[in-house]
Structure formats: C-alpha cells, structure tokens
Amino acid sequence: MAKAGETVLEIDLLALEHNYKFLKSRLDQETKFLGVVKAFAYGSDSVAVARKLEVLGVDYLAVAYVSEGVALREAGVKTPILVLHTLPISFDDLIVHNLEPNIYSPKILNQFLEVAKQKNLNKYPIHLKFNTGLNRLGFVADEIDALTEILNNQDKIEVVSIFSHLAASEDLNESEFTEKQISTFQNITNILLPKLKRRPMLHLLNTSGIINYAKSQYDMVRSGIGLYGFGNESAIDAELKPVATLKTVISQIHVIQEGESIGYNRAYKAKEAVITATLPVGHADGIGRQYGNGKAHVTINGQKAPIVGNVCMDMIMVNVSEIECKEGDEVIVFGENPTAEEFASGAKTISYEILTGISQRVTRLVVDN
C-alpha cells in the first residue's frame, strides 16, 4: 500500500474475508450468516463491505436505518437486508427498496400492516424481534396471542424470521443471565412457532454469542464486530484481522522548550524540552477529546507516540522525543498496532465506538489484494 499523504481509513477486504471465514468455521455448515453493515459497516465502507460479503456468499445483511439500506440497494446490492430499527416515517422508502423491517412492537406492527394494505403488498417479509432482557426493542411473550391473531388474519405481510439480541454475550461473568435470555427466547419460539402458518428462521447470536454460545446458533447468526476484526476477547482478537487502519502523516515537527505549553488551554506544560509532531487528524475526524493528554498513543516508525495536550478539531500533537522521524513520515493511529481496541481502551471505551466514530471527512481507501 502506498504511504498515506493525508489522513485515510484503509479498508482491507482480504482481512474481512479472513474474518468471515473464521467466524463461519465456528458454526455448523448449514447455519446462515447475516453480516451487520450498519453505521457505514462499523465506520468502514458499507458498499465495499456489503459487495464483498455478497461475493463471499453471505445470506443476509443488516443495517440500523432505512437510509443505510437504500444506499446499499442504490449501489446494486441484491442480498436481503434486515432493517434493525424501523421507524414509520421511512416505511415507503423501505418498501420501494425491498428492505425488510424489524417489527418490534404492537404499534409498529399495526402501522406497517396498514401501509401494507394500502399498497396491497403480498406476503411482504418482516422480522419479529422479542425482548429477552436487553430491554431496548422487542415484543414480550405476553403479546404472542394478540400478535398471531393479527398475523394469521391477513396475507399482506409474512414473518420470515424471529429474533432476539443478547445483552452481555461477551461477559462470561454474566453467563447465567445470558443462559436465561437463551431459554426465554426458546420458550417464546416454542409457543409462537406452532401458531404460525410458515416456519420462520430463528436467530439470536451476535459476534460474542458465536464465540461463547455457539450451541444456540439456531438458523442464522448476526455478526458485526467480528467481521471487522474484533472479538471482545484477546484470544479471538488474535485470530481475527483488523479491517480498518487509520493512517495519517506528520505535518510539522516542533522542538518545545522547558516551560512552554502545547495546544489549546495550555493543557500540556513542558517540564523538559520535548519534540512533538503535529498530525492532521482531530476530534472532527472522530478522535475525541477523551483521547488527549496521554490517554492514547499512535505508532510512528514502529514506536509509541502519546497524544500530548488537548485534541484539536483538525489536529493532534504527539510526543516524538524518543522517535526517529521527520515531516512527511507515515503515522498509524490504529490498525494492527495499536489496534482500535487498544486505542479505545486508553479512553475507557470500546472498539465499536472508535471505529464507528471516524467521520465521513476521512477518505476511505478500499484494498482488495
């Protein structure tokens, strides 16, 4: 890969392929795979990632919102797309683009059915989500009778899957809770399936669910973070490859004398002479202020350079006193070293947040060889 001349987010589709195959290898051969490509495919490039997953043979894709699914359809993606957070305002767009809604409450069921009737749809595919403990979106078991009453008296919409979402699949200290979520889901499907005319697919596991609860893989799994190279535990991270690398370049080097300060609010005051490098990446690019003042470091010529002082909107300054480097040298903000997970942990957050937060100002550079 050419050296970065500005801040770029490199997206490695071979790493994506490796991660997809690794996750598939943990599953039964017939288990279907849904690739989660919401939030620009976890901050990378949703079209490039979706197209690659389509070539690899993914069974389903998921986005959070309709607009994200529309972008994929407009790019020619044909794979079925589940919209995880359907909102009534975008029903029309959803239907026009053949996206499949998550229906999670009696209210949204009735609203969608009303539209399906107006448009005279025929067995339009919908997905029912049940709340088994995350307490975010979903029906509860008590609503099953009312639900089946509505569903079985019409042919405008058809349930193609029933699913739920685990709250703490990455945390083995919460395995009792997770097992309870699994048994709640099992009980719900035991009651619901016999009442439906056609047997829908069942799915429950996210990435850490695949790793820790593969026995409950049902008909399909839904993976996001694993595809992008993170498994929420170091043994799995070692098997996966980071898809995204945030690269930048040294714009200017400064020699700061003892007693001088660096950056806004004079947050860093030099107790001795230091050498800093100014980098063209800041909080407007997704490197939040919480990473400043030594909380995170970047890598320059293989060595750690901590962020000094406050993060600016468009720049950061890093300490390169001990590093042989010059203006124009490449900088790795995160990628293989430090990983996004390591970078994020400095500011007590998670890989998901730093990855999805890289703003659209940063050029995406897709690599597939």
Ligand X SMILES: *Cc1c(COP(=O)(O)O)cnc(C)c1O
Q: How many residues touch ligand X (CB under 6 A)?
A: 10
For ligand X, the closer CB: 337 or 356: 356
Query: By Cβ distance, which residue is nearest to ligand X?
Result: 224
Q: Which of 179, 192, 177 is nearest to 146 (CA)?
A: 192
Q: Are strands 330-334 and 363-367 parallel, antiparallel or unpaired?
A: unpaired
Task: State the minimum distance, in angstroms, from the CB of residue 223 to ligand X.
Answer: 5
Angle, vertex CA 348, rays to CA 347 and CA 352, nearest 5 = 95
Burial group, residue 265, by CB count within 10 angstroms (0-12, 13-18, 19+): exposed
207-217 b/e (C-beta count within 10 Å ≥ 16 → b)? bbbbbbbeebb
Q: Are strands 244-249 and 274-279 parallel, antiparallel or unpaired?
A: unpaired
Residues in the chain: 369
For ligand X, the closer CB: 136 or 269: 136
For ligand X, the closer CB: 79 or 251: 79
Amino acid at residue number 267? A
- In the residue annotation, 124 being an active-site residue is answered as no
Can you tell me the distance from the alpha carbon of 187 to that of 175, in angstroms, rounded to the nearest whole number? 18
Considering only residues 158 to 187 of the shown chain, the ones binding ligand X according to CB under 6 A are 165
Residue 224 engages ligand X in binding (rule: CB under 6 A): yes
For ligand X, the closer CB: 204 or 332: 204
Angle (deg, nearest 10), helices 144-151 and 106-118: 0
Q: Which of 4, 9, 36, 311 binds ligand X (CB under 6 A)?
A: 36
Piece in contact with ligand X (CB under 6 A), picked from 43-51, 152-160, 220-228, 276-284: 220-228
Cβ contact 297:316 at 8 Å: no
Piece in contact with ligand X (CB under 6 A), picked from 218-226, 247-255, 284-292, 326-334: 218-226
Q: Are strands 297-300 and 303-308 parallel, antiparallel or unpaired?
A: antiparallel
Burial group, residue 290, by CB count within 10 angstroms (0-12, 13-18, 19+): middle
Considering only residues 46 to 105 of the shown chain, the ones binding ligand X according to CB under 6 A are 84
% helix, strand, coil for the chain, step of 5 = 35, 25, 40
Task: State the minimum distance, in angstroms, from the CB of residue 305 to ligand X.
Answer: 30
Burial group, residue 329, by CB count within 10 angstroms (0-12, 13-18, 19+): middle
Residue 351 engages ligand X in binding (rule: CB under 6 A): no
For ligand X, the closer CB: 36 or 128: 36
Piece in contact with ligand X (CB under 6 A), picked from 69-77, 140-148, 224-232, 306-314: 224-232
Residue 240 engages ligand X in binding (rule: CB under 6 A): no
Q: Which of 44, 90, 131, 207 binds ligand X (CB under 6 A)?
A: 207
Selected catalytic residue, list 38, 52, 129, 247: 38
Task: State the minimum distance, in angstroms, from the CB of residue 314 to ligand X.
Answer: 30
Cβ contact 151:157 at 8 Å: yes
Can you tell me the distance from the alpha carbon of 165 to that of 172, in angstroms, rounded to the nearest whole number? 16
Piece in contact with ligand X (CB under 6 A), picked from 176-184, 223-231, 246-254, 260-268: 223-231
For ligand X, the closer CB: 232 or 245: 232
- In the residue annotation, 215 being an active-site residue is answered as no
Task: State the minimum distance, in angstroms, from the CB of residue 330 to ligand X.
Answer: 29
Task: State the minimum distance, in angstroms, from the CB of residue 40 to ligand X.
Answer: 13
Piece in contact with ligand X (CB under 6 A), picked from 116-124, 186-194, 222-230, 239-247: 222-230
Residues assigned a catalytic role:
38, 264
The residues binding ligand X (CB under 6 A) are: 36, 84, 165, 206-207, 222-226
